[in-house]
Amino acid sequence: MEHQASKIAVHHLLSTPANRSQRRLVYVIGAFVCLLALLTAPIARVKLTELPAYQPAIFSSVICFELITAYVLYSQFRINRSPSVLALAAGYLYSGGMTAMYLLTFPGIFSTTGLFHAGLQTAPWLYLIWHFGLPTAIIAYVWFESRYKGMQLSQARARSSSAVVLTVVILLIAVCTVITTKFHDSVPILLKDGHLTPLFVNKIGVPIIIYSVIALVLFFRLTRGNTVTTAWLCIALLASMLDVTIILCGGGRFSIGWYVAKWNTFICANAVLSGIIYEFTKMYMSLTVLYRKVADSEIRYKDLLGESQLAEREIAKRNEIIARMLESSQEAIVMCDTEGKVVFANRRFEQLFERPLLNGQMLADYCHRLKASHGTLAELIDRYFNAKLAPFRERVSLVTSIEKTRYFECYVSPLTDDVDGELHGHLFGFHDRTDEVRIMYYDELTGLPNRRYLGERLIEALDRAKNNIANFSVFFMDLDGFKKVNDTYGHEMGDRLLQEVAGILQLCVRSSGVCARWAGDEFIVLLDDVQNSAQLEALGEQIIHVIEQLDEVDGVKLQVTASIGIAIYPNDGSEGKTLLMHADQAMYEAKMKGKNNCCFYSAVTQVQ
């Protein structure tokens, strides 16, 4: 038979019932999304400054979330072979692909008019065509569930259906992209001078909203949001509908409505994946409970051996489901017991950190190479498992085998029973934030941390010092003779000189502090755990001496020196801005004394 109604209930994510607290959370999120739209509507047309990095930052995550969701839903289809689940997977695959095409063809991101020879009308058309996808997938799900509820395709038909659906979705994305790029001058105008035309608003935008409302009503009538996944699908569809609604209210690009609508897109992409990750956690807790029951049964009830073997097979099946779902994640995910021993780790760990994480291994031992803001991640994990630190979210870094630094966001979540609050273990996640961190926190020319990074580290240092953990100091360094190098040899040589000086600073300071480029030829050094002024003076003189020895760059003879001002917490200031200002004043005093030396702010006040 090609297909038949399944007589066996197959467990999958769309059949996992939602409890009262889960549904309450969904209602709260839905209410929040609606309230945000209502608050935005009156001011939606207010124009804001164009932020070129805004859409890439949002939509890179959206594309990942939607493709991951599509893959997970397809994994569920492989389990239960239900055509309705395949329709949802196709919808998210279509949405992820169209999002990517929209981002690639949006003017000003990758090229002036967008890639693939796109025009000004390409992105608006792709946006509208994209937003037909999710409600269409939802209506297809409703239709299949209404007419063929419980139908299970044969394995052969499931494979062929998957191939057909994948081909159709890819062709649909390709055709839409080709038409809107190659014939962008021939398609009707949706956007003129940055404002939406009546065609966009009345003839396409409003019908999409109505279409989405119909899909939402039909889907809710069918499912009532009784399972975790269907409840979050309602939120995803609601956010998609409000996305279009707020865009129409905004009336054009770079308005408040336009910016807020992108967050609705983010919520739409993230909603179902959040529910799936939550189910991963719930299934893991169920798994630990089952293991405990099996162990107790073997000890106390030898006559129930048959039942215990059946339970073990069920555990293996659930474990396989969890493993397959977690393996599809772009994050490195590890589950530990209450003592910190690894119970499960997906293969993403080896891909990100260049070596496997084995079951039974202590997670802290594995993470000793990962650097945190202060110390190592291993130290944070030890403190966490010793109940000296609450669940945390920390940015960490790793120097890879090819001497490249990568940055990750590490978070931990305890796994507790909803009923009795018993702790079953801990879930750790690692998300690769390398590209984001390099853009936000590092100077492109020198590779040193920038002002933003230094500001955050200065706040952390103040907090630590105020808690009597450690004092710190600030060096403000300016190059003597840098302008002459620029004027004589050009700005390219000036840039190379700054790079050489940055390397000297890192070599001298090493792990005792943070070196940052402040502006132009000005650098800041933030030193932790200051012991005495003699230690600071020795480091300052070392930096000055090494820079003075730098007499050639790329074969060009030149001569520069450095003047350094030093301010110490708390004697020279109890706030970050004050310390920087006083270090700057001390640096100018050093220049007044003949340059090529360092000066403490305390010496400046004595002179005054």
Position with higher pLDDT, 385 vs 148:
385
Q: Are strands 598-600 and 561-568 parallel, antiparallel or unpaired?
A: parallel
Q: What is the pLDDT, as a whole number, of residue 170?
A: 93
The lowest-confidence range among 180-194, 239-253, 263-277, 415-429 is: 263-277
The answer, yes or no, to whether residue 296 has pLDDT greater than 80, is no
d(CA 512, CA 115): 46
DSSP H helical segments within 193-255, as ranges? 198, 206-223, 228-250
Q: What is the percent of the chain with per-residue pLDDT over 70, rounded to a whole number? A: 89
Confidence at residue 304, expressed as pLDDT on a 0 to 100 scale: 59
Q: Which two tokens stand for residue 21?
A: 């607290």
Residue tagged 């975790």 (tokens) = 228
pLDDT beyond 80 at 341: yes
Structure-model confidence comparison of residues 544 and 75, the more confident one: 544
**pLDDT recorded at residue 294:** 65
Nearest to 477 by CA among 399, 563, 418, 553: 563
Share of the chain above pLDDT 90, in %: 29
- Tokens (6 digits) for 111: 């090229």
Q: What is the mean pLDDT of residues 92-99?
A: 90
State mean pLDDT over 419-448. 87
For 182-222, the pLDDT digits (tens) are 888 888 888 888 788 888 888 888 999 899 999 989 988 88
* 364-394 tens-digit pLDDT: 999 988 988 778 899 999 999 998 889 998 8
Do 332-439 and 444-600 fold alike per CATH? no
Nearest to 573 by CA among 476, 474, 478: 474
Q: Is the pLDDT of residue 526 over 50?
A: yes
For 258-286, letters b (16+ CB in 10 Å) and e give bbbbbbbbbbbbbbbbbbbbbbbbbbbbe
Model's pTM, two decimal places? 0.47
pLDDT of residue 308: 66
* Residue pointed to by tokens 């993403």: 348
| Range from 249-258, 265-274, 572-581 carrying the lowest mean pLDDT | 265-274
34 close to 97: Cβ distance less than 8 angstroms = no
Residue 3 pLDDT > 60, yes or no?
no
Q: What is the chain's length?
A: 608
Alpha helices in 511-563 (DSSP H): 533-549
For the chain, the structural domain boundaries read 20-291, 332-439, 444-600
CA distance 159 to 70: 16
Q: What is the DSSP string of 80-102?
A: H--HHHHHHHHHHHHHHHHHHHH
Run of H or E residues at 16: none
d(CA 393, CA 395): 7
pLDDT number for residue 467: 78
Map residue 194 onto helix, strand or coil.
Answer: coil
Q: What is the DSSP string of 325-383?
A: HHHT-SSEEEEE-TTSBEEEE-THHHHHHSS---TTSBHHHHGGG-B-SSSBHHHHHHH
pLDDT at 605: 62
Q: CA–CA separation, 593 vs 396, rounded Å?
A: 42
How many alpha carbons fall within 13 Å on the CB side of residue 489?
19
Confidence of residue 363 (pLDDT cuts 50, 70, 90): very high
* Cα angle, residue 591 at apex, residues 508 and 563 outer, rounded to 5°: 10
Instruction: State the number of CA atoms in the 13 A half-sphere of 370 facing the CB.
Output: 25
Cα separation values, 591 from 497, 520, 527, 572, Å: 20, 17, 22, 19
Q: Computed over its alpha carbons, how large is the radius of gyration of the chain?
A: 30
Could you give the CA distance from residue 63 to residue 113 in angstroms, rounded to a whole number?
Answer: 21
Angstrom distance (rounded) from CA 238 to CA 98: 19
**What CATH superfamily classification does 444-600 receive?**
Reverse transcriptase/Diguanylate cyclase domain (3.30.70.270)
**Are the C-beta atoms of residues 532 and 562 closer than 8 Å to each other?**
no
Average pLDDT over residues 445-469: 87
pLDDT tier at 505, thresholds 50, 70, 90: very high
Q: How many CB atoms lie within 10 A of CB 43?
A: 13
Measured CA to CA, the distance from residue 234 to residue 241 in angstroms comes to 11
The reported pLDDT for the residue numbered 200 is: 87
Return the pLDDT at 464: 83
pLDDT, tens only, 21-67: 778 888 888 888 888 888 888 888 888 887 778 788 888 888 888 88
pLDDT by residue (tens digit) across 110-143?
888 878 888 888 888 998 888 888 899 999 988 9
Kindly state the DSSP code that residue 9 receives in the 8-state scheme: P
Mean pLDDT score across all residues of the chain: 84
Alpha-carbon distance of 280 to 287, in angstroms, equals: 10
Which of 103, 93, 92 shows the shortest CA–CA distance to 126? 103
pLDDT of 587: 94
- Residue 77 tokens read as 């289809």
Least confident segment among 114-118, 170-174, 399-403, 524-528: 399-403
Instruction: Give the model's pLDDT for residue 7.
Output: 45
pLDDT at 603: 60
Residue 226 has pLDDT above 60, yes or no: yes
Tokens of 84: 């309705």
Q: Enter the tokens of residue 50.
A: 């164009």
Closest CA to 308 of 327, 323, 293: 293
For the domain made up of 332-439, give the CATH fold: Beta-Lactamase (3.30.450)
